[in-house]
A and B are shown apart, each in its own frame.
Chain A
C-alpha cells in the first residue's frame, strides 16, 4: 500500500511536464540541430540549421503562451512542480516570454551574420537554444540548487558563444576572460547558497522565506546575511553591475555581436528574475544600502567610462553596465510594504532593455561586416547618407537607450524612478537622472557622427538581408510598442507581482 503510494508520487505527471514545456521544446530542438549538423553539407547547413533553431524558438514561445493558458484554464495562480523545484506563475511566464523573444531575435540576427563571419552554425545555434533552457529554468526555479545548475548552463553556454569568432584573437581572449571570471563569480553564488542552507536548513526559497520571516527585519541569523551578500556578488557579476563589471567591455568587444546581443539581455533578465525571487519571495534579509551603493556605482561608472570610448561595442558594453544600475534602482525599493511598483518596474525594464539592446547590437553586427572590422564610432560617419534605413533604425534604438519619450526606454526609466521616488529614495533618483543626462551625450555622439560627419574612407554597407530585416523590424516594433502603449505589459507585470507575494 505504502509502496504503491510512493511510486505513484515518484513519477512526474502531466502538470510537471507543462511546467518545463518551453525548456523541453528548446532542448529537443537543440538536440535536433546537434544531430542534423554532422550529416548535412557544410555550405547549406547554415541556413537550414538557422531555420530549425528559429522554429525551436517560436515553439518555445508558443509553449510559454500555452503555460499561461493552462494556468488560467485550471484557475490556479501558480503551479509548483517537480516537488517544489519549479514554479510556474505569471512572473516566470513573463521572463520565459522575454527569453524566448530574445532568442528568436538573436537567431534572426545571426542568420546571415554566420555566413559573413564564416562561423560554424551547428554548435552555435545548439548552444543558443541550450543557453535559453538554462535561462528559462532560472526564471521558474524556486530552489537554489536548481538555480545554480541553471545558472551554470546559461553561463557556460555564453562563455563558449563568446569565443565563436575563431579567427580573431580578441574573441578567444573574451571567452577565456569571461570563463575565468565567471566561474569565480559562480563560486561566490554557490558559497552563498551553502551558507544559506547552513542558516535555514533548506535550499528551497519558500522554506527559507518561512524560516527567515520569524525574525524581525535586520535581526536574522548572521549566516543568512553573509549568504545573501555572497549570492548578490555572484549575481551582480552576471548582470555586470559595478564593482563586478570589469570583464564587461573586453568580453563584449571580443564576442560576436549577435552573441553580445544575446548575453547582454537574456541571461541578465533571468538573473534579475532570480534576484527578485530570492529577495521578495525568500524574505531574505537584504541590505538596502548595499543595493543602493551598487546601483549608484553602476550608473556612474558605466556612463562616465562610456564617454571616452571610441569602439561602439565597448561603448554599448559600458552603457549596459549603466543600465544594470538603473535596473537595480528598482531593487533598492525593497524592503517596504509596497514594493510592488518596484518589481513591476524592474520587470518592465528588463523587457524593454532586451528589445532595444538586441536591436542595437544587431545593427552593429551587420555594419561591422567580415571579421568585425568596422566597429569604431568614426566608421559610422556618413551612414545616414549611404544607408538611411540602417541609420534610422540605429538612431531609434539609441534614442530609446537614452530614454526619449515614445520609445520603450523612456517608460522603463520613468517607472523605475517613480517607484524609487515613492519610497523616498530621492538621492538615488537624482544620481539616476544626472546619469541619464550624461548618457545622452555619448549616444547622441554616435547619431551626430552618422548624420553630420563626412566619412574619411568609403566603408561598404551591405544591404539589409532578410533575417536581419525581420530581427530589426520586430525589435523596432517592440521598442515603439513599449513606448507608446506600455500599459498592457506593465499591468501584466504588476499582476504577476501580486501573485508572487
Chain B
C-alpha cells in the first residue's frame, strides 16, 4: 500500500517536472526541472526493485548529464526564450496523438506483461551481484579505469593551458 502511494506520488512529481520543463522560459529553469524528472524516475526504479538502475540513473543522468547541460547553458549564456503562440496544427494533432500513444503503450504493457505478479527483488541485477562482478572478477579493469580517467584529466589540463605560459615563466626566471 505504501509502495503504491509512494509510486503514485513520485509518478505525479515526475510528470509535473516534465510539464514544468516545457513551460519554463529560462533554460536554467528547464534544466533544473529535468533534474526533478530524473530524480523522481530514479525513485520509481528503486520502488520497482531495480536498485542498480536507480543508482545509475542518479549518477549518470541526474549527475553527469545534468552537469553537462547546465555547463553548456552557462557557456552559451542563453537568455530567456522568445515566446510564440505556437501553431494550431500542433495543438490539434499533438494532444490527440499524445493521448493515443499513451493509451496504446498502457494497453500493450498491460496486455503482454503477464498480468504482473513479479515480486520486488525477484529479477536479477542486484547490487550485490553487480558488486561481486565489479570488485571481484572485474577488479583489475575497474581499478585500471582510474588511470584512464587520470590521463584524460591530464590531457584536458595540457591542451587547455595557454602555450605562452611556458615562455613567460622562462623569461621571468
Most chain-A CB neighbours within 10 Å: which of B140, B141, B152? Answer: B140
Residues of A within 8 A of B136 (CB): 10, 83
Residues of B within 8 A of A86 (CB): 140
Residues of A within 8 A of B150 (CB): 130
Given A42-B173, A156-B148, A83–B154 Cβ distance below 8 Å? no
Residues of A within 8 A of B145 (CB): 149
Residues of A within 8 A of B138 (CB): 85, 145
Flag if A130 contacts B151 (CB, 8 Å).
yes
* Contacts of A121-156 to chain B: CB distance below 8 A: 123, 126-127, 130-131, 133-134, 137, 143, 145-146, 149-150, 152-153, 156
Cβ-closest chain B residue relative to A166: B163
* Contacts of B116-170 to chain A: CB distance below 8 A: 135-141, 144-145, 147-148, 150-152, 154-155, 157-159, 161, 163, 166-167, 169-170
Flag if B147 contacts A83 (CB, 8 Å).
no
Complex A-B: 6 CB contacts under 8 Å: A82-B139, A120-B161, A134-B147, A150-B144, A160-B158, A166-B161
Flag if A153 contacts B144 (CB, 8 Å).
yes
Given A42-B169, A118-B166, A130-B147, A85–B155 Cβ distance below 8 Å? no
How many residues of chain A have a CB within 8 Å of chain B? 39
- Minimum CB–CB distance from A312 to chain B (whole Å) comes to 25
Q: Is A15 an interface residue (CB 8 A)?
A: no
Residues of A within 8 A of B141 (CB): 85, 143, 145-146, 149
Known: A41-B173, A86-B140. 9 other contacts (CB 8 A): A27-B147, A83-B137, A130-B150, A130-B151, A149-B145, A152-B148, A160-B151, A163-B159, A166-B166
Flag if A160 contacts B144 (CB, 8 Å).
no
Q: A159 to B141: give the CA distance in the assembly, Å.
A: 21
Residues of A within 8 A of B140 (CB): 20, 82, 85-86, 146
Query: Which of these, B137, B152, B166, contacts A120 with CB under 8 Å?
Result: B166
Residues of A within 8 A of B154 (CB): 34, 123, 126-127, 130, 160
- Minimum CB–CB distance from B171 to chain A (whole Å) comes to 11
Q: Is A488 an interface residue (CB 8 A)?
A: no
Flag if A156 contacts B151 (CB, 8 Å).
yes
- Minimum CB–CB distance from A81 to chain B (whole Å) comes to 8
- Minimum CB–CB distance from B63 to chain A (whole Å) comes to 22
Residues of B within 8 A of A42 (CB): 166, 169-170, 173
Q: A43 to B170: give the CA distance in the assembly, Å.
A: 7
Q: A262 to B162: give the CA distance in the assembly, Å.
A: 25
- Minimum CB–CB distance from A455 to chain B (whole Å) comes to 31
Per-position 1/0 for B40-68, Cβ under 8 A of A:
00000000000000000000000000000
Cβ-closest chain A residue relative to B159: A163
Q: A167 to B145: give the CA distance in the assembly, Å.
A: 31
Flag if B173 contacts A123 (CB, 8 Å).
no
Q: Is A248 an interface residue (CB 8 A)?
A: no
> Residues of B at under 8 Å CB distance from A?
135-141, 144-145, 147-148, 150-152, 154-155, 157-159, 161, 163, 166-167, 169-170, 173
Q: A149 to B136: give the CA distance in the assembly, Å.
A: 17
Q: Is A415 an interface residue (CB 8 A)?
A: no
Q: A166 to B159: give the CA distance in the assembly, Å.
A: 8
- Minimum CB–CB distance from A15 to chain B (whole Å) comes to 13
> Residues of A at under 8 Å CB distance from B?
10, 12, 20, 27, 34, 41-43, 82-83, 85-86, 118-120, 123, 126-127, 130-131, 133-134, 137, 143, 145-146, 149-150, 152-153, 156-157, 159-160, 163-164, 166-167, 175
Residues of B within 8 A of A153 (CB): 144, 147-148, 151
Cβ-closest chain A residue relative to B163: A166
Q: How many A-B pairs fall under 8 Å by CB?
A: 83
- Minimum CB–CB distance from A38 to chain B (whole Å) comes to 11
- Minimum CB–CB distance from A25 to chain B (whole Å) comes to 13
Query: Which of these, A27, A130, A137, A167, contacts B163 with CB under 8 Å?
Result: A167
Cβ-closest chain B residue relative to A16: B140
Flag if B155 contacts A12 (CB, 8 Å).
no
- Minimum CB–CB distance from A47 to chain B (whole Å) comes to 15
- Minimum CB–CB distance from B86 to chain A (whole Å) comes to 39
Given A12-B139, A85-B140, A149–B148 Cβ distance below 8 Å? yes
Cβ-closest chain B residue relative to A42: B169
Q: A167 to B170: give the CA distance in the assembly, Å.
A: 15
Query: Which of these, A27, A123, A133, A146, contacts B158 with CB under 8 Å?
Result: A123
- Minimum CB–CB distance from A53 to chain B (whole Å) comes to 14
Residues of A within 8 A of B148 (CB): 149, 152-153, 156
- Minimum CB–CB distance from B22 to chain A (whole Å) comes to 33
Residues of B within 8 A of A156 (CB): 148, 151-152, 155
Given A41-B173, A130-B147, A166-B163, A159–B155 Cβ distance below 8 Å? yes
Flag if A164 contacts B158 (CB, 8 Å).
yes
- Minimum CB–CB distance from B100 to chain A (whole Å) comes to 35
Cβ-closest chain B residue relative to A44: B173
Flag if B147 contacts A118 (CB, 8 Å).
no
- Minimum CB–CB distance from A133 to chain B (whole Å) comes to 6
Q: A167 to B162: give the CA distance in the assembly, Å.
A: 10
Residues of B within 8 A of A152 (CB): 148
Cβ-closest chain B residue relative to A27: B147
Q: A193 to B127: give the CA distance in the assembly, Å.
A: 24
Cβ-closest chain A residue relative to B150: A130
Given A42-B169, A43-B170, A167-B163, A127–B151 Cβ distance below 8 Å? yes
Q: A159 to B169: give the CA distance in the assembly, Å.
A: 26
Query: Which of these, A10, A85, A130, A146, contacts B135 with CB under 8 Å?
Result: A10
Cβ-closest chain A residue relative to B165: A120
Most chain-A CB neighbours within 10 Å: which of B150, B167, B169, B170? Answer: B150
